Amino acid sequence: MSSEGGNGEGGASGGTKDHKMGVISCSSYVIGNIIGSGIFITANSVAEQTNSVGLTLLIWAVCAAISFLGAIVYVELATSIPDPGADYAYAMKVGWKAIAFGFMLVSVCITFPASAAVQSITFGQYMEKFLSVLIPSSSSPSSSDVAPSSDWIVISLALLLLVSLTILNFFSLDKFASTFQNVVSVCKLLSVAAIIGIGFYFLIFKGETQNFADMFAGSNWDIGTMTMAVYGGLWSYAGWDILNYGTPEIRNPRTTMPLSLFFGLGVVASAYTLINVSFFSVMTLEQVQNSTAIGDEFARLTIGNSFANVIPAMIAVLVMGTLNSNIFCGSRIMHAAAREGQLPSFLSGINPSSGSPRPAVLLQGIFSAVLCFVGTDTLVNSVTFVMWAQKVFTSAALLFIRYKHVPVESNAIRVPIFLVWALLIISLALVAIPFISDLTITLIGCGVIAIALAIYYVALKLGICGCGGLSEKICDVLDLIVKRALCVVLDVKTLSTPDERTELNVLTIPFSLKDDASLTSL
């Protein structure tokens, strides 16, 4: 679909043809987006739910299988509908605009910014610990005076990382952001390899096999409990769909995406399994269950306090890669929504030379920075419910495409239909079970979705998008300011009919695109 003024979809894609990611960069994004602090946070909760070494390892294997299943189905979606925005783009393709808008609004305003804020704060906390070892305090006051200072150090470090990665994502993916992701992914793998190497040294050369003698003794086989253990494991696997958020920025998606996803997920699944084996080769089941900082305790039991002091820095590196991937995802879905007319048109801006959606990246960074000052734990838990609800509708959308023969890309990869049904059923189970186990979190998640849908329908009925006057002038001014300040051209799809324009332009007003050759220099 072409854009007005020749600077829309075609212009943007033409400007980015030399800046697309290959297999190595895409694999790095998959690895970097999944492996973060999650494995160090959920390892003890999964063990606590299962109550045995064997069932714990089995649950992690089940989580890997579910993630591979999702990746397989999402490869078909990406090659069938090669638009940015993942779940949002797929819902739009089948005409579920209200659902697409609801999940989009939740994602761009809450899910991605809240996740980025939590990751930034986690980085700040671990780096503050590491720096406190490198630069010990000259005095040891008892410390109500020191606590506020420490909190501000954490916030400052969090904002420093967030601002740095936001600026990094202003530039070409293949030259800057993906190169950074490649480096961080290598650091992650080295850190993970160190933990695995130490664990297997104790397992093989020290003969620490007693925890594997009767692995399934005491297992808790309750379906509800095991499902919540799977829920915790899947939280650590979250992010396997990252490539679907930026499909147009991938070189030859039909080949690159399957290779990158299977390699990246294979590395992650192997790493998670071996890390858990390493933990149990050194720590008892009870120690793992009761651990609050399992990486730190593992290091102290094996290498001693001197090495354990480096653990905070290692985990901080893991978080950096995850945050970079989060910025990538969140900005792309915001950009995709603006292209469809469901967010203000200035957010559709693309820098012609780098292909970066700079306005969306910047606004994502601002939202995340604000949430760094807000407690987001309950909010993030509720959004987990929303994320799996998205998978329900996305799986249903693919089934709709298949059975209704909706036109898609002719060279799309097609997976066996039973795999799509399997993902739908699993996603439904993951959405339904929290209604029994944690009704509060589920109600919050449902409430957030309901509010987003209400905004859509109220805006549509009342015509908030407007058709002229002051609103149009404000939007024109914003478009001009953003184009000049961030060196972008707008990339909004042309709407074929007045009815389509009215239906799509829920939060914005008509726009015009004008070529600005001076923008291509940056």
Q: What is the mean predicted confidence (pLDDT) over 491-505?
A: 48
- Kindly state the tokens that stand for 75: 């490869």
| Three-state secondary-structure class, residue 42 | helix
Per residue in 384-430, pLDDT (tens digit) is 677 788 899 999 999 999 999 888 888 888 999 999 999 999 999 88
Residue type at position 202? F
Domain boundaries along the sequence of the chain: 4-521
CB contact at 8 A, 227 and 428: no
Asked whether residue 180 carries a pLDDT value surpassing 60, the answer given is: yes
Per residue in 278-297, pLDDT (tens digit) is 999 998 888 888 876 677 77
- pLDDT grade, residue 459 (50/70/90)? low
Q: What b/e sequence results for 456-478 when a residue is b if at least 16 CB atoms lie within 10 Å of its CB, and e otherwise?
A: beebbeeeebbeeeeeeeebbeb
Asked whether residue 139 carries a pLDDT value surpassing 60, the answer given is: no
Please, what is the average pLDDT of the chain?
77
Per residue in 352-371, pLDDT (tens digit) is 877 888 899 999 999 889 88
- Kindly state the tokens that stand for 264: 């990246």
Res 42: pLDDT: 81
Asked whether residue 473 carries a pLDDT value surpassing 90, the answer given is: no
Res 173: pLDDT: 62
Asked whether residue 142 carries a pLDDT value surpassing 90, the answer given is: no
Per residue in 226-284, pLDDT (tens digit) is 887 887 888 888 888 888 888 888 888 888 999 999 999 999 999 999 999 999 999 88
CA distances from 48 to 113, 196, 431, 453 (A): 30, 22, 22, 37
Q: What is the mean predicted confidence (pLDDT) over 291-304?
A: 77
Residue type at position 94? V
- Measured CA to CA, the distance from residue 452 to residue 130 in angstroms comes to 41
The single-letter DSSP state of residue 108 is: I
Asked whether residue 169 carries a pLDDT value surpassing 70, the answer given is: yes
Res 510: pLDDT: 32
CATH 1.20.1740.10 describes domain 4-521 = yes
Q: What is the mean predicted confidence (pLDDT) over 296-318?
A: 76
